Structure 1
Amino acid sequence: MDGKWSAWQAWQGCSVTCGKGVRRRYRACDDPTPDYGGKPCAGVAFEQAECTGSGSCPGIS
């Protein structure tokens, strides 16, 4: 049985508290997992997007 992707998880928080950073979300190849010689899921297990921290950066006006 070929593997299929599960639903995307929620986006994680931004990697920084100020300025530009990244956030990611993940999915697993477990709906179902590949079995009995089935093919693994095609594609990527995570996505990332640019984000901006919610705080102000010290020393920047």
Structure 2
Amino acid sequence: MNPLGSIKFYVKSSDTAGGWGANFLVEWKSEKEVSQPIIESLMTGLRGNHSVSFISPGRVID
């Protein structure tokens, strides 16, 4: 991925193959020293006249 790039993954709300919620593990590496990436997810939903959206920041897992 290029610097300041983004990647889009779309998971349908009807997709329950991985259980409740869309969970991702992101592995990153670089051949030179770089800053830790900023990884966030955006969830949106719409049902009738009601909508919900939130952003969830990624966390480092050792």
Q: Name the TM tier (shorter chain).
A: 0.3 to 0.5
User: Radius of gyration: which is bigger?
Assistant: 1
TM-score by structure 1 length? 0.34
Structure of greater relative contact order (alpha carbons < 8 Å, 6+ residues apart): 1
Calculate the TM-score normalised by the size of structure 2.
0.34
